[in-house]
């Protein structure tokens, strides 16, 4: 029972942070301030009241429309809020109530933001990568016994990516992808980092090829979302997947 209550608290906390992520997703690419300016309707500019800022709830109550101009609000808002809440519960349920679970939650939020922005602009904001890098540094100093794992993690995939970046002149791998894998490697260690690359590449090829087939989407691939998926899987199930893989030999 206590466990359920704890997870519920985690979920509520998650959707509140999710609400802030929506702000980041819209404002970072426009270089707008994410903290000081109050949230407003994108259509009529009406500044939102406090009760309109309650995640999920306000969207449902208002039927997904602006209170003033009645313009339809993007379903993306509640979806991102719900996703972030779900992801937080998932992380705590799998990794337990530990310090690194908090770091993983914050990392997952940054991954959501950078994925959404990468899908739209084909660029990963440097702020997201720096944020994940800071989480990695915290992970390093709170687990000094394994510092080598994290330091090697910083270089493991990012150095491969950097070579690809130079060879393809930035057309295959973007500079943001290089920095993302460096920052994430510092947080999850080199083994998980390689796993994240594997999961991300497989998911990326399968999903991207399928999309190209059905939708005739052009060939530009935003790699960020797939790498993010890989990093997420590695954070949650890295240990199990790696020991299962090694047991095959």
Site residues (CB under 5 A) for Zn ion?
41, 43-44, 46, 66, 68-69
* Shortest CB 27 distance to Zn ion, Å: 17
- The residue among 73 and 138 lying less far from Zn ion, judged by its C-beta, is 73
* Shortest CB 74 distance to Zn ion, Å: 12
* Shortest CB 44 distance to Zn ion, Å: 3
- The residue among 8 and 43 lying less far from Zn ion, judged by its C-beta, is 43
* Shortest CB 71 distance to Zn ion, Å: 5
- The residue among 66 and 128 lying less far from Zn ion, judged by its C-beta, is 66
- The residue among 48 and 164 lying less far from Zn ion, judged by its C-beta, is 48
Q: Are 189 and 149 in contact (CB under 8 A)?
A: yes
* Shortest CB 52 distance to Zn ion, Å: 10
Length of the chain: 249
Read off φ and ψ for residue 56, nearest 5 degrees. 55, -60
- The residue among 6 and 48 lying less far from Zn ion, judged by its C-beta, is 48
Give the three-state DSSP class for 65.
strand
């Amino acid at each position: 029972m206590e466990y359920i209550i704890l997870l519920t608290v985690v979920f509520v906390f998650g959707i509140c942070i999710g609400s802030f992520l929506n702000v980041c997703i819209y404002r970072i690419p426009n270089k707008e301030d994410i903290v000081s300016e109050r949230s407003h309707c994108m259509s009529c500019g009406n500044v939102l009241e406090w009760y309109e800022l309650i995640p999920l709830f306000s969207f449902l109550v208002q039927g997904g429309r602006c209170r003033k101009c009645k313009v339809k609000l993007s379903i993306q808002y509640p979806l991102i809020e719900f996703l972030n809440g779900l992801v937080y519960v998932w992380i705590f349920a799998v990794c337990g109530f530990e310090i690194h679970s908090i770091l993983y939650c914050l990392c997952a939020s940054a991954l959501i933001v950078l994925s959404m922005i990468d899908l739209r602009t084909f660029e990963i904001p440097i702020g997201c990568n720096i944020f994940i890098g800071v989480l990695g540094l915290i992970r390093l100093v709170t687990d000094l016994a394994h510092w080598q794992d994290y330091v090697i993690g910083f270089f493991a995939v990012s150095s491969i990516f950097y070579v690809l970046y130079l060879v393809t002149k930035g057309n295959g791998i973007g500079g943001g992808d290089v920095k993302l894998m460096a920052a994430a490697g510092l947080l999850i260690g080199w083994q998980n980092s390689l796993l994240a690359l594997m999961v991300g590449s497989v998911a990326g090829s399968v999903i991207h090829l399928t999309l190209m087939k059905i939708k005739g989407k052009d060939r530009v691939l935003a790699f960020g979302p797939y790498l993010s998926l890989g990093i997420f899987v590695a954070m949650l199930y890295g240990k199990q997947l790696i020991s299962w893989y090694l047991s095959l030999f």
